[in-house]
Amino acid sequence: MNIYVSPRGNDAWSGTLPAPNRQRTDGPFATLERARDAIRDLKRQGRLPRGGVTVWLRGGTYFRQQPFALTVEDGGTAESPIIYGAYRNEKVRIVGGKSVNGWKPVTDETVLRRLPPEARGKVVCVDLKAHGIIDFGQMRRRGFGLSATIPAGLELFYNGKPMPLARYPNEGWLKIATAPAGQQGGRFTCDEPRLKRWAEAKDVWVHGYWTWDWADSYEKVASIDPDKGEIVTVEPHGVYGYTPGKRFRVLNLLEELDAPGEWYLDRDTGMLFFYPPDEGKGEAMVSLTETPLATLQGVSHVKIQGVAFEVCRGTGVEVRGGSRVAIAGCNFRNVGTVGVIIEGGSEHKVVSCDFMDLGDGGVQVSGGDRNTLTPCKHEVLNCLFARFNRWSRTYRPAVLVGGVGVRVAHNLMYDSPHTAILLGGNDHLIEFNEIHHVCTETGDAGAFYMGRDLTQRGTIIRYNYFHDLGKSLQAETFVDVMAVYLDDCTCGTTIFGNLFVRAGRAAMIGGGRDNTVENNIFVDCEPSVHVDARGMGWASFWFDGRDSTLMDRLKAVPYQKPPWSERYPELVNILNDEPAVPKGNKIVRNISVGGRWIDLYDNLTDKVITIRDNITEGDAGVEVTPKGVRLRKDSPAFKIGFQPIPVEKIGLYRDAYRKKLP
């Protein structure tokens, strides 16, 4: 059965596709809710047809002020699934924003005096209140350690791209000179004469990596003293406090609206100021909706396909509970926070979607039961992720994985200041992904990252292509970028059959046990493999009682009872087996070309770690091409049991939803 919806439809009509060349007296519904309710009626009457129902969305823009909400009663069955999809590939946009037009030159002398001289005559403005827009949202504290779903304030998007909030500097960073009240004192100084221009400005914000190159936050400015060169922030102040020499920017300043694309909103008057990057005749939209654009609660056997979710302050789609929900061939762009959130349920799938220009990450997916090690079997497949950290710059990955039994495969991830895959939990499968040009703005960071837990075991990282990471892409002060970062005593992870090319410190084992690095090819890495025994050195506090984090997480799971004791027998007696010693790690049958092979720290030797059958010198038969890496048939690696890596399967593929590859 087919039901039709169109922005030009009418909820009083029958939801059919009108016959051509006839006077319009009937046709599609106008809203998604009307189509949803029609399906509810079918189910109540016992008339849900075998083969299911497809709701065809005609092209156009569907503005959402509240989520399109599906609940338990809106699900289908295996024999009668429900599909919401774009009709014949028409462009369907579900939008949480509004177009604005009528831009005019700035003539207010007060405003002109505040604008930088070079921008006068180039900045235009529009009255949002005249467009009926009175809710501007708020700029909120966000960043490391804070929720990824804190709604963004109103943002401006132009020709489908997010525009930068007026800031200084436009490129690069300012540096903290001193912290007069100490690191936690909530104030810092900088040697910047422009502070005089900012002293009277309202609602000024700063964004910085205040102490560590892996932790950023946005902080509201309480006051600026240009005579002292001092900036005071609103409590609780910058994450980890303010440290001299660290970097930051100043944002939300009309006084710094000096570059094409920048914008500023006067929240008192509702005037939006914009320095257009062209003649200013493109589509301008502002984000309004703070709720998700769509929610599926306890829903099963529903598919959403071919739809664009865009221009909102909150999340795109949220799925909680239920089973076998598929989000396929959709676009998530210009979203204020996270593209898709999946929590709980089983066998949900995000497939062949594009995620671009997101505020706080791409997909968050978790499920299963860690106590019983029951997998959720969720999948993130064949998706493209780019520029997914517009707001928070750290720990907002393309894919955030939790729980048990998630598969992340055949994705392309690039252009991010920090990590691409952030993982917790057990028995996940990360395979056939291509990841490059991530961790470009941070240090002590990993393209793939997990850490600080003895129990999160069973994950396999195989047949992925990590390339162009590391110091060669960093500013002078950013170092220590890893491809696969098993941080702070991560255990029981397998790294097999991956390609690492110019991938920084490629495979990093930070004090953990029972990890395997096998059958990988490393090219120009620094080094290819790192192993340390931090639990016996600087991080001994996790094992001597000073910090209970690792022991608390161990006690939180039934690691000495089935199925844990059967699945991870190494855990059963770990506390009686020198838990701080990184036993059980294996580095076998790898190829390392160029760069540096291995770093062993804390007096580690091959008596603790198994290191054998690795080819690190001579001609290994490795050939690097623009398309990747191949191993010649005459490579000596095959004589020691090296298994061919299915390079041709790595990355995106064509399917019913992805007709072309980028």
Q: Beta strands of 20-88 (E only): which ranges?
A: 53-57, 60-63, 68-70, 82-86
**Which tokens in the block code for residue 326?**
């598929």
Q: What is the pTM of this model?
A: 0.96
**Amino acid identity of 564?**
W
The torsion defined by the Cα of 381, 384, 390 and 392, in degrees rounded to 10, comes to 30
Q: Which residue has the tokens 């410190």?
A: 505
Q: What is the mean pLDDT of each run of 10 residues along the chain (662 residues)?
A: 96 86 80 98 95 97 97 97 97 98 95 95 96 96 95 97 97 96 97 93 96 96 96 97 97 97 97 93 96 98 98 98 98 98 98 98 98 98 97 97 98 97 98 96 95 98 93 52 97 98 96 98 96 96 97 98 98 96 98 96 90 96 87 94 96 97 92
In the prediction, which pLDDT does 474 show? 45
> Which residue spans within 198-322 are E strands per DSSP?
205-209, 217-225, 230-233, 247-251, 263-266, 271-274, 284-287, 294-297, 300-305, 307-312, 317-320
What was the pLDDT predicted at 18? 74
Q: Is 347 exposed, middle or buried (0-12, 13-18, 19+ CB in 10 A)?
A: middle
Torsion of CA 187, 188, 194, 198, to 10 degrees: -10
User: DSSP label at 165?
Assistant: B
- Domain parsing of the chain, residue ranges: 98-166+256-285, 168-252
What's the rounded Cα separation, in Å, for the pair 209 and 442? 9
User: What is the per-residue pLDDT for 22?
Assistant: 59
| Residue 261, helix vs strand vs coil | coil
What pLDDT is attached to residue 477? Answer: 46
Question: Phi/psi of residue 555, each to 5°?
Answer: -70, -20
Distance CA 486, CA 515 (A): 9
| Residue 175 identity (one-letter amino acid) | K
pLDDT at 632: 94
The reported pLDDT for the residue numbered 279 is: 84
Between CA 209 and CA 174 the distance in angstroms is 11
Please report the pLDDT score of residue 478 as a whole number.
Answer: 46
Give the CA count within 13 Å in the CB-facing half-sphere of 310.
Answer: 27
Q: Across-strand partners of 175?
A: 247
For 157, 165, 431, 529, 622, the CA distances from 591, given in Å and listed in that order, are 47, 46, 19, 11, 9
Reference 413, options 423, 396, 398; nearest CA is 398
One-letter amino acid at 355 equals F
